[in-house]
Structure 1
Amino acid sequence: MKRLLIVDDELAIVEALQDILSVEGYDIVTAFNGAEGLQRLADGKPDLVLLDLMMPVMDGREMLRRMRDDPSLRGIPVVVMSAGRISDEERRSSARFLAKPFELDVLLDTIAELLVEPQPTA
């Protein structure tokens, strides 16, 4: 079972995503700001992170920067979710971007695409 980390300060969004993604067969871990998100990463690496940008304590931009600066976290796929804009530098960080509000099928397709296991070559 693939583990997803949802990092968002809006409880309603976290609960909705947790319910939907659990039904889809994902193991869900949650955090409500970037500092909590980094702690969850230290507790055990997820297969993918869903990350809001605008949060208190530590925003998503700082969490993403710290993830990309840490070789042990750099390879974890990140889907940035935000109602705001992202910079060109953030786009180059290898994170995917979904503008809020997003369509559920687009989110599920993005997650599935990022979690595809590489096929062994013969």
Structure 2
Amino acid sequence: MTDSAPLILLIEDEEDLREAVATLLEMEGYRVAQCVHGADALNWLKSHPRPGLVLLDLMMPVMDGQAFLARLSRERMLEGVPIIVLSGSPFHPPGAVAYLRKPVAVGSLMEVVRHFLPSSGEGSEGPHTS
């Protein structure tokens, strides 16, 4: 995997699920940064490159997904970055471009991720100009 691969920020407190989703995304050609709650993600964002997409759980300790979204909105952080909510909660919060209810099917997850952030090299040999 190269540094040019699209970066996804995955915020999920359930370690097994976080690891499984990260592995799947990495196998599909993405780089994945993992955080365990919203406060962890805010700290990560201060010292790392802007992700191309965020996958966000809603129900987490310390800072839940709704509080994280509210903070992003207040501080105008990550404007233009698609945020996809992965949650067992039926609530679709403002600020998210898509909502996937857990347990989410692999095909559904990858379809939404690819829609908002195509992986580098997916069916191509690099950037082309017209």
Equivalent residue number for residue 68 of structure 2? 63
1:14 equivalent to 2:18? Answer: yes
- Map 1:98-117 onto structure 2 (within 5 A): 98-115=100-117
Aligned length: 114
- 1:15-43: per-residue Cα shift (whole Å, max 9, x none)? 00111110100001000010001112222
Q: Which amino acid aligns with 1:52?
A: D
- 1:43-87: per-residue Cα shift (whole Å, max 9, x none)? 221110000000000001111111122334121110101101215
Of 30, 42, 53 in structure 1, the residue corresponding to residue 58 of structure 2 is: 53
- Map 1:35-50 onto structure 2 (within 5 A): 35-43=39-47, 44-50=49-55
Shift in Å, 1:109 = 0.8
Greater RCO structure (CA 8 Å; 6+ sep): 2
| Structure 2 unaligned spans of 5+ | 119-129
Equivalent residue number for residue 74 of structure 1? 79
Query: SS of the residue aligned with 2:34?
Result: strand
Equivalent residue number for residue 119 of structure 1? none
Provide TM-score, normalisation by structure 2: 0.81
Equivalent residue number for residue 88 of structure 2? 83
| Structure 1 unaligned spans of 5+ | 117-121
Distance 2:81 2:19 in 1: 22
Identity of aligned residues (%): 34
Provide TM-score, normalisation by structure 1: 0.86
Compared CA separation, residues 57 and 94, structure 1 to 2 (3 A) = closer
Q: Which has the higher helix share?
A: 1
Q: Which has the larger radius of gyration?
A: 2
Compared CA separation, residues 69 and 95, structure 1 to 2 (3 A) = farther
Distance 2:77 2:101 in 1: 28
